[in-house]
Structure 1
Amino acid sequence: MKIEKTSHSRIRKMNFKNIDFGNQYSDHMFCSEFKNGKWKNSIIKPFGKIMFSPISLVFHYGQAVFEGMKAYKDKNEEVFLFRPEENLKRINRSAARLEMPTIPENIFMIGLKNLINIDRDWVPKYYGQSLYIRPFLIATNGALSAKPSQDYMFIIISAPADTYYKHPLKIKIEEKYSRSASGGIGFTKAAGNYASSFYPTRLANEKGFDQILWTDSSTHTMIEESGTMNVFFHLKNKLITPKFNDNILGGITCKSILSLAEKEGFFVEERNISVSEIIEGLQTGELREAFGCGTAVVINYFKTISYKENNFDLPNLSEKERISLYFKKRLLDIQHNLSEDPFGWRVQLKRYF
């Protein structure tokens, strides 16, 4: 692997106490090309622009998939990744579904670890903060005919991150628009999945809601995801979440919460959840709490759920009563090396630069 370090780090301009997520990027990026059926030209170089032909099929037919992951620091400023092998599995599932080449483990892991080691000063040291890491794979050539590209580029960039949402969320159950459909690509992290969500989300924002609670495309009667998050409900003393299927992204944070909950003796169910069941729980008070989870957001609880123009406020629990905050702390403590990691999720990055 070739490494070209920047001669002018931008980190001196970075204020880690006031992180503007998505607008401040670390000094370097990793790139690797897929040409003639082989991966080649792996390089870490200064973060910057990349030139592509206007006929690259990423622009025309949407061959683009990505991942979201994070690096954390502990009190000794050692750096850790969280379950990176799961991100590799998921980006390759996404790539295969969009007829793109899968990324070899050595290219993904060596590129990732080298990149974060070089930019380890960009990993914030404060609890709850992290370095958000964005691996992505795009088509880089082609002709204007509807068939897969032959050439691709795999890139990893990173950005310091703070809390994604700073308040409890108001959520609207979607009754018209759909995020995905059976047999489609809802289970992938394809770029187009997110683009198609922007318009209905804006409509919800204009009515005062933070996000959408997506429902199935056929009947809009079954719960799927919330915005870009998996969703949990604390209902009738059980922690329930929609069972993963072709419509729902298999969230790594969601899987981690399920593992923690089962290990600690919570009653957990992964199953189909109807809108009517959630509304009944809100009306009877049996729905104690609802929250979304994902890499960027970690965990954020819902304040209000709206359906058919009716707003239902969830119980006003104390912090100690909230199961969402309990699991958020459990996850962050593992990620920041403040507690034991019984699952082996934490991967320490040893210094070798």
Structure 2
Amino acid sequence: MAIPVERTRSPKARPAEAELGFGKYFTDHMFRVDWAEGRGWHAPRVVPYGPISLDPAASALHYGQAIFEGLKAFRHPGGMRLFRPGAHLARLTRSAERLCIPPVDEALLLDGVKTLLRTDADWLPGGPGTSLYVRPVVFATEAFLGVRPAKAYTLLAFLSPVAGYFSGPPRPLRIWVERERARAARGGIGGAKAAANYVASLLAAEEAKARGFDQVLWLDGAEHRDLEEIGTMNVFAAIGGTVVTPSLEGTILAGVTRDSVLQVLRGWGVPVEERRIELDELATAHRAGRLAEVFGTGTASVVAPIGEVAWPGEALRLAAPGAESLGERLRAEISGIQRGERPDRLGWLEPV
């Protein structure tokens, strides 16, 4: 369907690429579609980016029915390309199901995102490590007080020209292990991209930063023993020639970059295991000289090397990764596919 576009009368000045950072600037337009009981998703349109009106009793503000996604569009020799949008929108649908939000019309949303990207195509940066970040967000808008699924929702998608997620020049990250608090519990919503999961992580992350660390490594909520996530990233470790990553058991996000890394590694013939990993196993491997690398993966960061994993009384320090390290090779491979510099053998790129 043709999605109507209302163009802004007050276009913004474009930021210089050197000033981008992550999530600081937003383009001129946004996509919107609403849901109402009996009507479903209706009235899709692209409108000028700006504040929205929300009733003080909107249930998202009180009961937390709010989910989001994050995917990227890249400058490519063949024109703008989205990286694995189908996987991202399928995950948004799974998140919606877990939070009792109506199923997202994935085809309509993809059409809306593409229309938005074409409308604001001039915002697409072209420098190394840059992209247009696409943020769909769904939240309950029905005005009522009562604990039940809402009967009205809004879906917005907007764009942000971005560079790297972590500030400053590229460097191995310092990670603090959180051994008391829990981000998610088995049977909870840890596997959904829900706003509530991120607010649950903030206090520990702020405390870690006050100690001089970049992010928090979360352990399982029951025993505080098994590795789960690193802040906004999935975690991988190269131990004795095998790459291991925590298995998906409902408490961690099924990262699209995580899945991309697994597919690339298997294509290279690298042994990979998805399983529970105890923190003690990581420490033992490090003492024995078998822990070659630790890295995080995510849409925002792609592949980020970890230089230190620390907790009270112990610190695992790793050598800075060279160009031939797995993490650096993975980052180069995935970034190369996204920008059309390496072949897209798995069909991950979607023309806009």
TM norm structure 1: 0.96
SS in structure 1 of the partner of residue 266 of structure 2: helix
Partner of 1:78: 79
2:209 alignment counterpart: 205
Give 1:189's aligned amino acid: K
Give the Å deviation of 1:77: 7.2
> 2:56·2:143 contact (CA, 8 Å) conserved in 1?
no
- Aligned to 2:181, the other structure's residue is in SS state coil
The residue identity in structure 1 corresponding to 2:22 is F
Assess if the C-alpha contact under 8 Å between 1:127 and 1:336 holds in 2. Answer: no
Percentage of pairs with the same residue: 35
Deviations 1:192-247 (A, max 9, x none): 10001000111111111111111001100100111110010011111111111110
Counterpart of 2:163 in structure 1 is 162
Alpha-carbon offset, residue 180 of structure 1: 0.5
Displacement, 1:62?
A: 0.4
What corresponds to 1:282 in structure 2? 286
**Aligned equivalent of 1:328:** 331
Q: Distance in 1 between matches of 2:262 and 2:252?
A: 16
2:242 counterpart residue number: 238
RMSD: 1.2
**Runs of 4+ that moved beyond 6 A:** none
Deviates more, 1:189-198 or 1:125-134: 125-134
Amino acid at match of 1:223: L
Give the alignment partner of residue 217 of structure 1, picking from 210, 221, 224.
Answer: 221
Cα distance in 1 for residues equivalent to 2:204 and 2:45: 39
Contact 2:21/2:165 (<8 A) preserved: no
Q: What are the residue-to-residue correspondences of 1:1-353 with 2, within 5 Å?
A: 1-10=3-12, 12-37=13-38, 38-74=40-76, 76=77, 78-165=79-166, 166-317=170-321, 319-349=322-352
**Structure 2 Cα separation of the partners of residues 150 and 189 of structure 1:** 21
CA contact (8 A) 1:142 1:150 kept: no
Report how far residue 309 of structure 1 moved. Answer: 3.1
TM, length-normalised to structure 2: 0.96
1:39 is matched by which residue type in structure 2? W
1:248, 1:320 → 2: CA distance? Answer: 29
Does the 8 A contact of 1:72 with 1:335 survive in 2?
A: yes
Give 1:163 shift. Answer: 0.9
Distance 1:316 1:200 in 2: 26
Please give the per-residue CA displacement for 1:145-193, whole angstroms capped at 9, x wherever unaligned.
1111100000001101101124321111111011100000000000010
Unaligned ranges ≥5, structure 2: none
Distance 2:341 2:139 in 1: 37
